[in-house]
Structure 1
């Protein structure tokens, strides 16, 4: 097992950023030809999402995209399956079934025989396990050899630093869930290159390593050899000539399907060779060359991020500040959807150490969600705009020092901050209404912060700063889906002073929290200049709240805070009514930060084969639940579902349609308790190999409908 490189963590972060930058650069003109790009946009040197001189798909920069969601969701298979020595394709397929919400999350849902991934999902759903779900034998060569397997390999490489054998195994198992043939060869080659890039910078040597995992008769091998030959023929000086040769021999017109892997793999190799040691040049080539630009640039960006590190990313135009680390991973585990490059890098880094059987580094700043410990990291924080008469603009920078337990902090600088005006910086904990105008890919997400949780941050004031008042604040949606601010207590910080702020988020009345941040106000009547350093910001504790319809259907953002995995989610009558036809569905809220809590709801089964209340829900196929069904005249079961279902306890219970049942489920460590009408039915301990340690709450129904007014979430009742 290769040793973990000393700079592993920073290179993973750079790889994650490289992937994001590449995807965000290429997304607005995905599918365009080189000729069209040159005619309408010219060489791609920076983000073009706000260009007004061409009809682009969207003005959004940070977008929901399968290239991002799949790349970072699917490697969760490692932790979800207990980090097996040899993760299997079937286990990755089960991970698909857990995180995918059909027609809504992660994938392009283009239909069977049209979208390779949708086709594979339908196979998995029907009971066909991976790798057969992605086989050419079942789906045909055209469907099996599209680009998707190549798109999703980066995570498998980043958990395998200097270990291409492991990266290739993982990438192949994952690729065969949906793909076969040349698509798998391409995925293996790139995974090997990215894994080896942690310890080797030479592109030619990386290609040799990648080709070592590709059969000699594979077309992918011939593609790589041709592009290398063309590159050598012009001494690496004329990428446009080589691109034209690729189009002539391997163009889109030579291969069937929507987005075949061969043409795009050729462009990935093109950008890799001609980019040499420059991240910026590789991005320019990968995006200007055309075809599947976001996919190709995403893979190239990750490879070059790993190769060149943060210094390479920062050697040209500032690609990092506009995105501020932000990313979306739309999935059935909605609490992990609003995330950032630091959080996802930390997850991959932890997996890499576990697979290497090496002790991982201690969590940065005791595991604070926003720790700013990577150079340049912003984790979504930005200056909040508003009325010039009220809000004062600030400058935000990641700087060394000013941290009690870490290495870096977020510097919030302000000049001439006058009395009566305030400066605000914040980061999203949910999405805004603008997200509904993003094309193609839907965003399923829950807020990451809830009423009853305690927010904490640590601050330092620059020695030359004037005295300022600071307080935590949150932006919360209201009945008009507008944002209003709620505040914690005010503290004064003198020049050179320090403070730890804590604030228990109050009851928001069922409305979701959109963002969390810091407000700064001058105390000097002449105004102040200065800098406040944010060491970290985090939160903890069980939520204390009521999830309900907060008004008479005046607002909608509260409804979007639920992950919707049912055929109908209606709020007109009882408050929450869900319907699932001929299968099990759910709505859910919460995050894996929710460890120990009690969920209670008065549920009416209107018509259903089975129904219930879930806790520690982590997707479609990972949760505890108290379930009621019609077996033997009525039955209640306490179950644990991790793909397969385990019955922890069961008893007869003659429930009836149209009757209201007060159901409660409490999770506290490994102890699970279930109640109906205040009576304890079950109290068990989960002694299984895989404990579900955290997750949200859910309402579940199978082939029918249930309704409720609300779901109450509180801390566990210890005397129960």
Structure 2
């Protein structure tokens, strides 16, 4: 499949216009557990649209891509998050606090983060879909890096699901096919998958729209719509909606994936679908904005109804970006934003995917099969030629949040802390180090793995290992280190895991930070 330049351009612009429409429609009703009967914008739009945080957060990610290209990862995005994003709302604030404490992603998104399963990262999916249109395998890898900055678990899976769907929507328009594609990128037993499947089941059984909302909620009850209410008020609002359960604090992403799907399937056109998304309540600006972006990609800017686009024009208004620092150029319009993305794509995707010399503007080669590759089945340690050795996004998203990943030119390092990054006197701690070969270079190596510790930390057994690092399918070098910190009195422990390939100049050092819990 090949995506033509004019089609791609129209769909990118449609994505951001749809995002803007949904954010404005749902904004006034955000955070309320109630059925909303609005059928159009309720704000005074004579001076243009209000700020849309669902859209403007992604401008920071675009700035990172413009500078670092395809090398963007969670570490780089974390730096941009600290430097340029103003809000400290729940998971955003905890993610920042963890980053400042030295906890790198994915620890930054997981440690003491009660809202790691909430809605703050899946609203940032569009940038990755637009940068890798028709290539959900690639788009979701970047969505994963994005999500683990300040989320984990179901929150992270929600962003992967939406990104896969939106990337595929550049070349596929059938809702059921798109949902099926997106589901292959997340675990079948995840709560996100269960809520989406419940929405599909409700549509298949012709359940009424309001009853479907209640059924989806009960699969994984969230609390976004009652977080500003007392317990008594929350119970009253919950009963009025026909819900049985108030919901868990911060467990918001799964049911909102179901809400997006149910609004999409129960509506017959753009307007009905947007009205349905807002009718549901809860995190309305996010639900509406994401569905609006999906529909904008499918239909393109040219086919979005003028009734919905004209009152907003092309204008973008931001609220979350700190513009007092150099480093971020904030676009004034959706067209400007789309143009910036279109300019950066050839370098981001590379010559294997983009034909920059194609007549009429560059074209983009898309995945032949839009579904997730999953775990490819080959004989263990068989010849590696012509095989993709990179971890699939399903494998990445299944990793514990206590696994730190580092990439270097000739190898990849995974440091598994086994449990949360805390220690206390009298406790033996273990970490597992896995080194994977860089299979693009296809060289057999020997890896020297060394654990460096500060004074007061005793390594139990060897502090250095020397292991073969083959390039055969599934080959890796693994070792474990054990230590105790009985004589270490400070509150923050910093370990260094060094990996050196024998006979090569390249090496890598991964920092591991742990916090003292006390006796």
Aligned twin of 1:93: 78
Aligned twin of 2:23: 23
More helix by percentage: 2
Conserved 8 A contact 2:69-2:347? no
1:129 aligns with 2:104: yes
Aligned residues: 330
Structure 2 CA distance for aligned equivalents of residues 123 and 262 of structure 1? 24
Aligned twin of 1:212: 184
Structure 1 residues 267 and 242: alpha-carbon distance in aligned structure 2, compared to 1, 3 A threshold: same
Residue 79 of structure 1: CA displacement?
1.5
Superposition pairs of residues 477-516 of structure 1, within 5 angstroms: none
Structure 1 residues 60 and 133: alpha-carbon distance in aligned structure 2, compared to 1, 3 A threshold: farther
1:325 aligns with 2:314: yes
Q: TM-score, normalised by structure 2?
A: 0.59
Superposition pairs of residues 422-437 of structure 1, within 5 angstroms: none
1:188 aligns with 2:160: yes
1:246 aligns with 2:216: yes
1:34 aligns with 2:19: no
Superposition pairs of residues 124-203 of structure 1, within 5 angstroms: 124-135=99-110, 138-140=111-113, 142-203=114-175
Aligned twin of 1:269: 261
Structure 2 CA distance for aligned equivalents of residues 150 and 342 of structure 1? 23
Structure 1: gaps spanning 5 or more residues:
52-58, 365-720
Aligned twin of 2:43: 49
Per-residue CA deviation, residues 233-273 of structure 1 (Å, 9 max, x unaligned), is: 11xx8423312322444443453225721222221121122
Structure 2: gaps spanning 5 or more residues:
224-244, 361-519
What is the DSSP-based 3-state SS (H/G/I as helix, E as strand, rest coil) of the residue aligned with 2:202?
Answer: helix
1:291 aligns with 2:282: yes
Higher Cα Rg, which structure: 1
Structure 1 residues 313 and 81: alpha-carbon distance in aligned structure 2, compared to 1, 3 A threshold: same
Structure 2 CA distance for aligned equivalents of residues 249 and 270 of structure 1? 14
Structure 1 CA distance for aligned equivalents of residues 286 and 197 of structure 2? 22
What is the DSSP-based 3-state SS (H/G/I as helix, E as strand, rest coil) of the residue aligned with 1:77?
Answer: helix
Structure 1 CA distance for aligned equivalents of residues 171 and 180 of structure 2? 14
Structure 1 CA distance for aligned equivalents of residues 356 and 314 of structure 2? 23
What is the DSSP-based 3-state SS (H/G/I as helix, E as strand, rest coil) of the residue aligned with 2:173?
Answer: coil
Aligned twin of 1:436: none
Identify the match of residue 338 of structure 2 among 342, 345, 349: 345
What is the DSSP-based 3-state SS (H/G/I as helix, E as strand, rest coil) of the residue aligned with 1:148?
Answer: coil
Structure 1 CA distance for aligned equivalents of residues 81 and 153 of structure 2? 21
Aligned twin of 2:199: 227
RMSD: 2.6
What is the DSSP-based 3-state SS (H/G/I as helix, E as strand, rest coil) of the residue aligned with 2:31?
Answer: coil
Conserved 8 A contact 1:34-1:291? yes
Structure 1 residues 185 and 259: alpha-carbon distance in aligned structure 2, compared to 1, 3 A threshold: closer
Structure 1 CA distance for aligned equivalents of residues 118 and 180 of structure 2? 24
Conserved 8 A contact 2:191-2:220? no
Structure 1 CA distance for aligned equivalents of residues 357 and 210 of structure 2? 45
Per-residue CA deviation, residues 395-431 of structure 1 (Å, 9 max, x unaligned), is: xxxxxxxxxxxxxxxxxxxxxxxxxxxxxxxxxxxxx
- Larger RCO (CA within 8 A; separation ≥ 6): 2
Per-residue CA deviation, residues 422-464 of structure 1 (Å, 9 max, x unaligned), is: xxxxxxxxxxxxxxxxxxxxxxxxxxxxxxxxxxxxxxxxxxx
Q: TM-score, normalised by structure 1?
A: 0.43
What is the DSSP-based 3-state SS (H/G/I as helix, E as strand, rest coil) of the residue aligned with 1:331?
Answer: coil
Residue 313 of structure 1: CA displacement?
1.2
Conserved 8 A contact 2:117-2:151? yes
Identify the match of residue 49 of structure 2 among 55, 62, 70: 62
Structure 1 CA distance for aligned equivalents of residues 303 and 158 of structure 2? 25
Structure 1 residues 188 and 82: alpha-carbon distance in aligned structure 2, compared to 1, 3 A threshold: closer
Structure 2 CA distance for aligned equivalents of residues 209 and 351 of structure 1? 26
Residue 201 of structure 1: CA displacement?
0.4
